[in-house]
Amino acid sequence: MKLSYLPTPLDEAPRLTTELAPLATGPLRILIKRDDLTGLAMGGNKARKLDFLMRDAVEKGCDTVVTAGGAQSNFARMTAAATAKLGMACHLVLTGDAPAHESGNILLDRIFGAELHFAGTDDWDVIWDEVKRIAADIGPKAYPMPIGGATPVGSLGYVAAADELLSQMDAPPDWIVTASSSGGTQAGLLAGLPREVRVLGIDVARPKTPLAISVLKLAAKTATLANRPPPAGDVIIADHCGPVYASITEEAQYAVRLAARTEALVLDPVYTGKAMAGLIAGVKSGQLSGTIVFLHTGGAPALFADEFAAF
Ligand SMILES: Cc1ncc(COP(=O)(O)O)c(C=O)c1O
């Protein structure tokens, strides 16, 4: 069973590199790993996690997936799509109240046939309790999936992505820059990469448990599950969240426009725009130089959400 189209391309970004080179303190080469092109339901990083998570659900004999996310969650949209493709049912518990008009990822959730439950709150503990309640009501054929698919099983997708990326390059890159929220992507990369490749996770959600702690724990568990040595790289995080999760920041607006007009990339306001803002800031500060791979983790449907009309 394969939901994603792999390998995704690894592209040079010559015009973005030229634009940022004057800000850099050393040599600069930027490449883009196009995980926005993983294929499943408009693509994104979560397809790689869902390859493993959905297989686990099917092997456990489940016929319904229950998960949760922010109202404009990309993971929720892609889970809804994965269940549609596999003929399973899907329940999504989403933050906040039902919107008067459904747009962006919510519109797609509906089109894929998911049942939506608006939790009326942004409190993740309450939301996770609701996931467990719905799963318990459905019974043993329900597969509750943590927010963002951030489990060792899901993170196996990014151990495989690390192998894929290294196989596409003559020499390992100096840095990989990725948006990090539930931490599963960053954890999988850390579990799969050699120490010399540093991973910069751009914190876009500022979770209750600091990201560095959850990434470290998840990377260790993922490495064990993947039969790899314990992760050797440091957990490096930079905060570009803005005041709260999903808030519009000027630096992300600039980054989205810069990536669009130099490389025709479609980034998003919540994740990849902030990750690119983190890359620009890292180049400016001298933290990032050499060969940098920007992991494009998808997320474009949020650009068409009413919440971001002002973006
Ligand atoms: C587009 C996009 N990029 C990055 C991330 C962060 O990935 P992770 O949750 O694995 O940290 C997400 C998570 O929802 C996402 O939707």
pLDDT surpassing 90 at residue 311: no
Contact predicate 273/9, CB 8 Å: no
CA-181 nearest atom, ligand 1: 11
Q: Give residue 46 CA to ligand 1 midpoint distance, Å.
A: 7
Unique residue bearing structure tokens 């019974």: 139
As a whole number, mean pLDDT of residues 246-264 equals 97
pLDDT surpassing 90 at residue 221: yes
* Domain positions in the chain: 10-43+151-308, 46-149
Q: Give residue 181 CA to ligand 1 midpoint distance, Å.
A: 6
Which ranges of the chain would DSSP assign to H, the alpha helix? 14-20, 46-59, 74-86, 104-111, 124-138, 152-167, 184-192, 211-225, 250-263, 272-285
At 310 the pLDDT is: 82
pLDDT surpassing 90 at residue 121: yes
pTM comes to: 0.98
At 144 the pLDDT is: 98
| Strand order across the 236-239 sheet | 10-12, 28-33, 290-295, 175-180, 198-203, 236-239
Q: Which residues line ligand 1 (CB under 6 A)?
A: 44-45, 74-75, 148, 150, 179-186, 271-272, 297-299
At 249 the pLDDT is: 97
Q: Decide which of 3.40.50.2300, 3.40.120.10, 3.40.50.1100, 3.30.420.40 is the CATH code for 10-43+151-308.
A: 3.40.50.1100
Verify cis geometry, omega within 30 degrees of 0, for the bond prior to 152. Answer: no
At 1 the pLDDT is: 81
Tell me which of 4, 73, 180, 181 is the catalytic residue.
73
42-92: pLDDT as tens digits: 999 999 999 999 999 999 999 999 999 999 999 999 999 999 999 999 999
CA-69 nearest atom, ligand 1: 14
Strand duo 64-69 + 89-94: pairing: parallel
Percentage of the chain lying above the pLDDT 90 cut = 97
**In this structure, is the dihedral angle defined by the CA atoms of residues 203, 205, 206 and 210, taken in order, positive or negative?**
negative
Which of 177, 181, 190, 295 is the pocket-test mutation for ligand 1 (most atoms within 8 Å of CB)? Answer: 181
As a whole number, mean pLDDT of residues 203-220 equals 96
Unique residue bearing structure tokens 């568990």: 221
At 288 the pLDDT is: 98
2 — pLDDT class (breaks 50, 70, 90): confident
Q: Decide which of 3.40.50.1100, 3.40.50.300, 3.40.50.1820, 3.20.20.70 is the CATH code for 46-149.
A: 3.40.50.1100
Active site residue 180: no
Same CATH fold, 46-149 and 10-43+151-308? yes
CA-185 nearest atom, ligand 1: 10
At 103 the pLDDT is: 97
CA-70 nearest atom, ligand 1: 14
Which of 72, 185, 270, 303 is the pocket-test mutation for ligand 1 (most atoms within 8 Å of CB)? Answer: 185
Across the chain, what does the average pLDDT equal? 97
Residues forming a β-bridge with 259? none
Give Cα 240 distance to the centre of its chain: 15
pLDDT surpassing 90 at residue 290: yes
Give Cα 148 distance to the centre of its chain: 8
Q: What DSSP designation does 95 have?
A: S
